[in-house]
Amino acid sequence: MKNKILIPTDFSLNAWNAIQYALKLYLNKECEFYILHTYTSSVPSKKELINAKSDELSFENAKTQSTRGLEEVIIKIDSLFKNDKHTFQTISLQDDLLSAMKTMVEKRDIQLIIMGTKGASNYRATVLGSNTINVMENLRVCPVIGVPYDAEEVAINQIIFSTSFKTHYKSKELTHLVDLARTQSANISVLHITGSQEFSKLQLENKQLLEECLEDASYSFHEIESKNVASGIRTFVNINGGDMIAFINRKHSFFSTLFNKPLVQDLGMLSELPLFVMHDNRA
């Protein structure tokens, strides 16, 4: 059975980098990729109607540009990444990005989303663009991999999975993480950011449950003492390295809290590693 992967694009270099990353990441897997572009068409004012050129008055102009852009993406993929295991579909929709992606996930039974962490309008100094945060927060029916602009190395040896052990795990919500680890022959480094407190009985039970969920993959457990999650992850990466950071997003506003501007200035490493975001819809 083919993996169905959705990749949104705004035709920026960031978006193209995410496409390349996806094709390399699943190089040896049977995949059907859905390349999505969204656009908007506004009703022109009287002044704009008077001054506009004839081709600018066409309601189809934005649609035509979208379709042409997608065709060029496929041509580029075929010339650089020809792979018999991969098939492609392009979708051009007049809609906002989040709504279009929700529609695609539901109608095409999408299993995974891979997208750039920043779009054409986002500064390089930011870690996550507004569209990325919006998707990671609000599209909660399938996991999302966010690919940084500078992520060129696709070989994944270590996935850092940060967790508190405070809620129980389901195999279903970890399926894609386990599958990716097995595909890449990577180790899942389960990282617990802690103060000085000991594990509660519930946390110990949840840790055992997590072991059962990860039994088909290589994994190890680690602890770091830190006042907050992001600083703890940074410390772990600085000491042990890492190729991807994984979370289960159990509540809304997690990313807007984790990646607030003052904190981002102190988290250069998070702008360099892909993020694997899973969701717990019980939250």
Domain boundary among 147, 181, 210: 147
pLDDT in tens, 240-268: 999 999 988 776 555 555 554 433 333 44
139 and 204 both lie in a single domain: no
Percent pLDDT > 70 in the chain is 79
Q: Which amino acid is at 6?
A: L
pLDDT in tens, 63-95: 999 999 999 999 999 999 999 999 999 999 999
133 and 165 both lie in a single domain: no
Domain boundary among 147, 174, 203: 147
CATH code of 270's domain: 3.40.50.620
123 and 186 both lie in a single domain: no
When pLDDT is cut at 50, 70 and 90, the band that residue 190 belongs to is: very high
Q: What is the pLDDT of residue 184?
A: 94
pTM of the entire structure? Answer: 0.85
55 and 184 both lie in a single domain: no
Give the E-state strand segments of 13-170 in sequence order. Answer: 31-39, 86-94, 112-116, 144-147, 158-162
173 lies in a domain?
Answer: yes
Domain boundary among 113, 147, 181: 147
153 lies in a domain?
Answer: no
Residue 231: domain span: 158-279
182 and 133 both lie in a single domain: no
Pairing of strands 144-147, 275-279: antiparallel
Give the pair of three-digit tokens for residue 186: 């990577």
pLDDT in tens, 208-225: 999 999 999 999 999 999
180 and 96 both lie in a single domain: no
